[in-house]
A and B are shown apart, each in its own frame.
Chain A
Amino acid sequence: MIAVVDYRAGNLTSVKKALDHLHADAIVTNDPAEVARADKIILPGVGHFSATSILDETGLRTAILHRIQQGVPFLGICVGMQWMFESSTEAPGIRGLGLFSGACGRFAPSVKSPHVGWNSLTCQDGSRLLRGIPSDSFVYFTHSYSAPVVKATVARCEYGGEFSAAVEQNNLFGVQFHPEKSGAIGLKLLENFCGL
């Protein structure tokens, strides 16, 4: 069972709909006990980094971290991925999970913000999440903050500088774009995650 974590900041309908389309066994939940039982966890998200503070308050942070340590595949989407880093300048007081080093920051003033639309990926070989998704594939982004390129980066994107479009390390996965809104490429990515 895949737990899609509801922390009142996600486009849960869209993610659940895409998983239903793939015939995945998924539930939307805000219950730490359900998360503790899940075989896979997806943390969606659009909106403000500060919304993730509710994960601390509700015990979901602890449940998610515990399950991650047990090796369960975890996928963070958009703000969900940013939360996997240490922090974001969008909400300096809020701590991320710190699974990847570095802080998320704003785009350069030379480009429009938010970054909205279809942009291309530069993918690295060997990613399990991006299996069958070639470089230069287009995916849909909508965000004002982005994560730096780190060792775990498996896909980069260019917009006023390079940022992490996808990260992957062992059972940890994150995407800045919205696979549930990225047509056939996005569905392929979700299918890859479901099949891990």
Chain B
Amino acid sequence: MLTKRIIACLDVNAGRVVKGVQFQQLRDAGDPAELAAAHSQAGADEVVLLDISATHEKRATLADTVCRTARQLFIPFTVGGGIGSLDDATAVFDAGADKISINSAALTDPSLVTRIAERYGSQAVIVAIDAKRMNGEARFEAYVRGGRTPTGRDVVAWAREAEERGAGEILLTSMDRDGTGAGFDCELTRACSEALRIPVIASGGGGDTQSFVEVFQRGKADAALAASIFHFGLHRLADLKQELQSAGIPVRWPC
């Protein structure tokens, strides 16, 4: 049976994994290569490395970081953050990424999705969407530039277009829930999942085991991303997968 995936996300700044509270007060959490391998050992089904470096100079270390991380990782490995062109994507693939995640650049120029998919296959292209509720209703607007700029685009419509243009998966982040640990936005996740044939990865709001159970059952997510909750307690990841299994969610366990 196809299992629900738990994807560990490492936020990387200037070549180091950082943990912050809503991007404030960044704390050093370790070496990306070591932490990615440790997450894989602990039961993560995939690893996403998200480069949150604010400046071009700091991003210069990305290829080296990706290369070192990929060398000891034998599960799917996605790299995202600041990929704005086919050349950017190529550099990351050459360094050893299996998939790339694009966000703002895809909305600015949707043909980029197609161009990367034609070169590397749809399975290698994840379109990330930052979604915010409109006036508290069950309608969602896509935001870009780290959630700073509204686009006026309806999230489900944009996700459908991304699928048509060649995206292999959608990484859907609820801006309303991100960093709160209050649970995923199941309404948002379900709306996208039911509208698409490609898998949807839920992100933003993951906290206790019940929040993951709900996003898989009620939200119909194919995978869930857990950003920073594992960094200082890898045992939490193994516990989560065991608890999900007990709750009847199909997961890869034992790994």
A17 at the interface (CB under 8 A from B): yes
Considering only CB atoms, which chain A residue lies closest to B96 in the complex?
Answer: A13
Residues of chain B with a CB closer than 8 A to A183's CB: 40, 74-75, 255
A180 CA to B74 CA in the complex, in Å?
6
B124 at the interface (CB under 8 A from A): yes
Residues of chain A with a CB closer than 8 A to B3's CB: 117-120, 138
Within 8 A of B (CB), among A171-196: 180-184, 186-187
The number of residue pairs between A and B whose CB atoms lie closer than 8 Å in the complex comes to 86
Given contacts A17-B70, A158-B1, contact A117 B96 (CB under 8 A): no
Residues of chain A with a CB closer than 8 A to B70's CB: 13-14, 17
Interface SS of chain A: helix, strand, loop or mixed? Answer: mixed
A114 CA to B96 CA in the complex, in Å?
22
A116 CA to B94 CA in the complex, in Å?
22
Given contacts A140-B76, A183-B255, contact A114 B168 (CB under 8 A): yes
Q: Are B199 and A47 in contact (CB under 8 A)?
A: no
- How near does chain A come to B6, taking the closest CB pair, in angstroms? 10
A143 CA to B122 CA in the complex, in Å?
10
Q: Are B121 and A46 in contact (CB under 8 A)?
A: yes
Q: Are B198 and A112 in contact (CB under 8 A)?
A: yes
Q: Are B198 and A114 in contact (CB under 8 A)?
A: yes
B169 at the interface (CB under 8 A from A): yes
Given contacts A112-B199, A142-B123, contact A117 B223 (CB under 8 A): yes
Given contacts A17-B71, A183-B74, contact A115 B123 (CB under 8 A): no
Residues of chain A with a CB closer than 8 A to B74's CB: 18, 21, 180-184, 186-187
A117 CA to B199 CA in the complex, in Å?
9
Q: Are A118 and B5 in contact (CB under 8 A)?
A: yes
Q: Are B98 and A11 in contact (CB under 8 A)?
A: yes
A112 CA to B72 CA in the complex, in Å?
31
A156 CA to B222 CA in the complex, in Å?
22
The bracket for how many chain B residues form the interface is 20 to 34
B58 at the interface (CB under 8 A from A): no
- How near does chain B come to A42, taking the closest CB pair, in angstroms? 16
A149 CA to B135 CA in the complex, in Å?
52
Considering only CB atoms, which chain A residue lies closest to B93 in the complex?
Answer: A13
Q: Are A181 and B98 in contact (CB under 8 A)?
A: yes
A180 CA to B218 CA in the complex, in Å?
33
Considering only CB atoms, which chain B residue lies closest to A9 in the complex?
Answer: B121
Residues of chain A with a CB closer than 8 A to B72's CB: 21
Interface-centre pick from A112, A117, A143, A187 (highest chain B CB count, 10 A): A117
A142 CA to B223 CA in the complex, in Å?
14
Considering only CB atoms, which chain A residue lies closest to B97 in the complex?
Answer: A13
Interface residues of B (CB under 8 A from A): 1-5, 40, 45, 70-72, 74-76, 93-94, 96, 98, 120-124, 168-169, 196-199, 222-223, 252, 255
Q: A114-B199, A158-B1, A183-B40 are in contact. List 10 more A-B contacts (CB 8 A).
A: A46-B120, A46-B123, A112-B197, A112-B199, A116-B169, A116-B222, A117-B223, A118-B2, A119-B1, A184-B74
Interface residues of A (CB under 8 A from B): 9, 11, 13-14, 17-18, 21, 46-48, 112-120, 138, 140, 142-143, 158-159, 180-184, 186-187
